[in-house]
């Protein structure tokens, strides 16, 4: 019986077919399975590590072997790497020097501002003391003319002192600004010289 006949025989109801279907025998076939011996995880890991170490050692030996110089070999990549490393070191040194300059500048500025505040406080105290002395002199004046004369002298004195003190404070402020900027200016000059040489 052919395959198409078997299909036809199965599709037709029993008794209507001229041929009868023969039941097929079910056979069981055993497929051999290869069973690996059970390996502990630690031994598997240690074996993998050993293999990796051996591989790395072999590669390292190949890399470290000296290369025979030829006419076509060039050291430009090595020079480029050395230049890059040197440039990196220069940038780190530049950054460190810049930070030191900023710190020094900040210290100079802080000390200078304290000195300016001290001068300002001394000027204000002297002005207050003179005002009190002038008020006492005016209140003890025997005549209006004498009081006007004391007041006039006081006004002239205050104007002269205010001009002198303001010039003194402006000069100290300018000096402080120059001193504060000196470390930063030196760093800018050094950086320009360094990068000018590199270019």
pLDDT digits (tens, 9 = 90+) for 67-118: 555 555 555 666 666 666 677 777 788 888 889 999 999 999 999 999 999 9
Q: What is the mean predicted confidence (pLDDT) over 133-148?
A: 90
Which SS3 state, helix, strand or coil, does residue 101 take? helix
Minimal CA–CA distance to 165: which of 126, 115, 109? Answer: 126
- What is the number of residues in the chain? 199
Q: Tell me the C-alpha distance between 24 and 12, whole Å.
A: 17
Helix then strand count (H, E) for the chain reads 4, 0
Give tens-digit pLDDT for 37-74: 555 555 555 566 567 656 766 665 665 555 555 555 55
Can you give the residue ranges of every domain in the chain?
91-199
Cβ–Cβ under 8 Å, residues 123 and 162: no
pLDDT tens, position by position, 1-24: 555 555 554 555 555 545 555 555
Q: What percent of the chain has pLDDT over 90?
A: 29
Give the residue among 14, 184, 191 at the shortest CA–CA distance from 101.
184
Residue found under tokens 């005549």: 143
pLDDT at 28 (0 to 100): 60
Position 105 scores a pLDDT of 92
């Amino acid at each position: 019986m052919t395959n198409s006949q078997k299909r036809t025989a199965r599709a037709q109801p029993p008794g209507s077919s001229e041929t009868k279907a023969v039941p097929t025998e079910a056979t069981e076939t055993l497929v051999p399975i290869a069973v690996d011996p059970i390996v502990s995880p630690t031994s598997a890991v240690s074996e993998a590590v050993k293999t990796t170490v051996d591989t790395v050692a072999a590669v390292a030996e190949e890399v470290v072997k000296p290369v025979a110089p030829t006419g076509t070999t060039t050291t430009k990549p090595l020079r480029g790497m050395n230049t890059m490393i040197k440039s990196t070191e220069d940038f780190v040194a530049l950054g460190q020097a810049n930070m030191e300059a900023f710190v020094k500048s900040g210290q100079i500025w802080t000390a200078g501002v304290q000195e300016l505040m001290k001068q300002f406080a001394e000027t204000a105290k002297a002005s207050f003391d003179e005002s009190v002395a002038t008020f006492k002199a005016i209140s003890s004046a025997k005549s209006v003319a004498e009081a006007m004369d004391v007041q006039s002298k006081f006004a002239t004195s205050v104007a002269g002192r205010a001009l002198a003190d303001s010039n003194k404070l402006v000069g100290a402020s300018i000096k402080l600004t120059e001193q504060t900027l000196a470390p930063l200016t030196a760093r800018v000059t050094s950086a320009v010289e360094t990068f000018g040489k590199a270019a």
